[in-house]
Structure 1
């Protein structure tokens, strides 16, 4: 009968050492623990086995996107419809803004605003979104970023189509420099689409580029394009002031909701799966 040998505790963790490997044993499972993360190793591969959080089934993912993406967008649709009904029922006096801009028109500004409004024409936004999403998903293998971009652009488009049909606000009483689409004036679909695409792309680029100057340049361009589109739509007599203001707000909300539902979730899951080395935040024994 062999004599049982008492192994000394591991000098770093204080846990009793595994009798075969010498690594500190996990206090619950008894398996040899990973020297960095402290999680028990898998018996075959030796990689750390993450414990304490069960795998989410498909219903868990559906529940997350229903609560983090679908419900906020439904609420935003209701708020947009209510805001549209409110501004159409009140004497806002916004026609004076359009009248003043119409009296200030010139050939140069007509050309410049034509270019400005084309930055967010529907065919361009659809093509740019499809091309960028395909590049992110197929070339860069960043499916979550592609999904975020599509969600940001198409969510604002769906809300715009639903609410503009219900609000049915007339166009400003000035000469229109563009053909009037069948949708109503509130909210501005051109402006919300510009925010949905250009600000979403700016957000993706801002987390990749290095240095505050580069980030400032990215965000300057990402914000400047929607503002140019907003002024162009006002100048060309296609929208009231509240139409473009709500378009800016609608696009920004759709970008924020999509980022929280998709990008933030991805970052959270990645941080949980890959805890920092050396006992950083999220690793066992990290300072709290």
Structure 2
């Protein structure tokens, strides 16, 4: 069983009635409440100006669902699974919107609404493949110091230093930060990724999807540092070139020391370019 927002439920770990791993120590619990994506850090204001917070709700009650990246002044790229639950006849529910231009999704920034969307025609929610989609804004935003376009990297990436930003849970206790978090990670070679996912599957997720390295790229930091709920759709950026190389897609239970999976930008070059040309 898996959640579409990045994470699967781990059926192999014993939990208390409050949902805390029974083996968790007091020191571990203190770390759960540190203000960061599991293992990440607060970003400086203006860091990652391409980041988009995708939300649902109104001015009274709203929740952050996913991240995304601004790829044109009126186009956001994100994960396909971030969009599917909000489809209605004729488009998307009007409670579905986004905030751009701020590292705090709850204050500041600019609210933007959507008039159209695109989901990859071969999106497979069972195997979690081709997990890429786009949201078209009702009007173009004005770029600024705090609002910039993500530059796509269509070269095949092997092992290199990278970083991911997001507003996802900072712990398995479902704490979601208002402030954007960043985590430095390393991308793995396809062979290393496949082997590590195979090893993780034997412990955490026996029916985990297979890894398709032509359209997926994975990262790994360490146990206790990785993606969690709410980070889906967020951009994986190359630290060497500053370009986007992936879109956060799926992972094992938050930061279990198993690779996190991203849709590989180079694997969707034709699709990405075809959608961007429409806008």
TM-score (norm 1): 0.24
Higher fraction of helix: 1
Computing the radius of gyration over CA atoms, which structure comes out larger, 1 or 2?
A: 1
Higher relative contact order (CA 8 A, sep 6+): 2
Higher fraction of strand: 2
